Amino acid sequence: MHDSRETSLTKAFVAGYPIKHSRSPLIHGYWLKRLDIAGSYQPIEVAPLDFYDFIATLKDGSAGFQGGNVTIPHKEKAAALADRPDELCLELGAANTLWRQDGQLFATNTDGAGFTSNLDERHPGWDSNGTAVVLGAGGASRAVIQALRDRGFKDIHVVNRTLARAQELADRFGSAIHAQPIGALSEVMKGAGLFVNTTSLGMDGEASPLIDFEPLAAGAVVTDIVYVPLMTDILRQAAYRGFATVDGLGMLLHQAVPGFEKWFGARPVVTPQLRELVIRDMDGPR
Ligand code: ATR
């Protein structure tokens, strides 16, 4: 029998290598169900050498996808191969969200918006001080730095073990960004209103070096983009000193919103139930 839902099924994907750890299918699957949309969102493992061909099938429509997400290690190539990368992903040199429109492949990067939306939701006023300290200068810190600059932060101190990588980001993102060696951490934290960990320190419950949060401004917020575990060692240290903390899970949830809207035509909402669903999944076997 002909199933009209099947013929009108809108398909989206997340492509990475490996991909089995991605929680994006859980997030989008939840929204599809909640909003009763005839759509699918599937994980696809695409090896680096196959990515060009994968993009070609997306562009010519033969894969049948309306769009999707790309994750490590494809974000840079996705930005380069899209027909219409937006300004955000051109500056970052990385895309995480793709969609087909008017016969062309569009690309953007929603990581920065996910980062700021998470803080807006969980700690309104987090951006009032204008000075931030960002620990780390890897791929993940780029979207954070861009988002903070675009939010109007006047001074963004990027502190990194390898100073040259921090300097690269200062050169890329402009005069509000200051590259700093690890030894300057305490000094640049003086009076700052936001501290962001973008390194892998604390991941999977590892202990981090001790950080003295005392110099931060009264009322400062400390956040981490690591979200396994939710309470990282860095957040625990900051909370112990009496600072407000925001965990990184909301960044993952919020970065998914614009893509879903592009592909499926409805803007989904990040709810406490969705957060609980992902937390339960994190507690389960992987
Ligand atoms: P991602 O794309 O996830 O950001 P990455 O590009 O490998 O990953 O960057 C990891 C970041 O964590 C870098 O800033 C790295 O510092 P270096 O640039 O000096 O390598 C930082 N990092 C990782 N392990 C660290 C450690 N033990 N101490 C301090 N910084 C660390």
To test the ligand 1 pocket, which listed residue (159, 200, 211) has its Cβ within 8 A of the most ligand atoms? 200
CATH 3.40.50.720 residue ranges for the chain: 112-249
What are the backbone angles phi and psi of residue 239, rounded to the nearest 5°? Answer: -65, -40
Q: What's residue 178's pLDDT? A: 98
Is the distance from the beta carbon of residue 145 to the nearest atom of ligand 1 less than 6 Å? no
Kindly report, as residue ranges, where domains of CATH 3.40.50.10860 are found in the chain: 4-109
The atom of ligand 1 lying closest to the CA of 198 is 4
Q: Which percentage of the chain shows pLDDT scores above 70?
A: 97
Mean pLDDT of 185-191: 98
Output the pLDDT for position 283.
85
For residues 226-254, average pLDDT? 97
**First CA to last CA distance, the chain:** 38
Question: For residue 286, what pLDDT is reported?
Answer: 62
Q: Is pLDDT of 69 > 50?
A: yes
Q: pLDDT of 12-52, one tens digit each?
A: 999 999 999 999 999 999 999 999 999 999 999 999 999 99
Topology at the third CATH level for domain 4-109: Rossmann fold (3.40.50)
Q: Which of 71-80, 186-195, 205-214 has the lowest mean pLDDT?
A: 205-214
**What is the average pLDDT value for the chain, to the nearest integer?**
95
Residue nearest to atom 12 of ligand 1 (CA): 199
> How does pLDDT run across 126-135, given as a tens digit for each residue?
999 999 999 9
pLDDT at 7 over 70: no
Give the mean pLDDT of 155-171.
98
268 token code pair: 């989904």
The domain covering 112-249 belongs, at the CATH homologous superfamily level, to NAD(P)-binding Rossmann-like Domain (3.40.50.720)
Return the pLDDT at 19.
Answer: 97
Report the nearest atom of ligand 1 relative to the CA of 135. Answer: 14
